[in-house]
Structure 1
C-alpha cells in the first residue's frame, strides 16, 4: 500500500494560502515601486522647473514659486504614501514568513511520517519473511524426521526388535 499523508489536505490548503500571500507581497512591491517612480518623476519635474525658472522672465517667478511649492507638497505626500506602502509591504512579508513556516512544519512532519511508514513496512516485510523462513525450516525438519522414521521402519533390525516386544494374545 503506498504512503498516504493523512494531513495532505491541510498541507495543500496552507500551500495555497502561501501562494496567495506571495501574490499579495508582489502586489505590495509593485505599489512601492510605482510610488517610487512617481517620486522620481516629481523630483525630475522640480529640477526641470528650477532650470526653467532661471531662464524665465521676472514676472513669472511668482507662478514658478507657487508651482514649486505645489511640487514639494506633492513630493511630501508621495513620500508619506511610499512609507505607508513600505509598511504594508513589510506586514505582507511577515505574514508570508509565518505561512512559509507553517508549510515547512507540515512538510517536515510529512517527511517524518513517510520515513516512519517506510520503516514500518520494512519491519512488516522482515517479519513476514522471517515467518516464511521459520515455516520452511519446520517443514524441512519434519520431512527429515519422516524420512528418518521411514528408513528406520525399513531397517530389518528395527522390525525384529519391535516384533519381539509385542506378543500376540
Structure 2
C-alpha cells in the first residue's frame, strides 16, 4: 500500500503521519496505542485528526487501499472463473475481461466493433437522407401552396382585395 500517488496529499505527510493514517485505517488500535507507535503524544494525534489536510490524506489512503483490495479480489475471481467456470461461455467471458483489464485488448482492432460502427454510420446516413427528403417534400408543398395562393389572389378584383384587407385589419384589432 506504499504506492500512493506522489502528487497526493498523503505523500506530503510526514512518516509519522503516514504511519498514523495507516494504523487509523486498520482500526485495530486505540488512539493512545497509535500515538505511542508513531512516537507522538495522544494530543498530537488528536490535532492531526482535526486537521483538514490530514483528513484528506486519510480519505485518499482509504480510497486507494479499498480500490487495491477489491481490484485484487476481482482479478483473482476472474482467473478462477477462467480456469474453473461452469461453462465454456463463463470461462470465455472471464478471459475476455482479463484481456480487457490488462490493456491487451484494442477495441479498434475488434471486427465486431468495426462492423457495429459501420452499421451505425450507414444508419445515420440513411436517417440523414430521409430527413433531407422530408424537408424537400415540405418545401415543395409550401411552394405549391404559395403558388396557388398567388394565382387565386391574381384573379381577385381590387374590390375583393380591399374587402379581404379590411377583414384582416378587423381581426388584428
Query: Which structure ranks higher in relative contact order (CA pairs < 8 Å, sequence separation ≥ 6)?
Result: 1
Tell me the TM-score normalized by structure 2: 0.30
Tell me the TM-score normalized by structure 1: 0.30
Bigger-Rg structure (1/2): 1
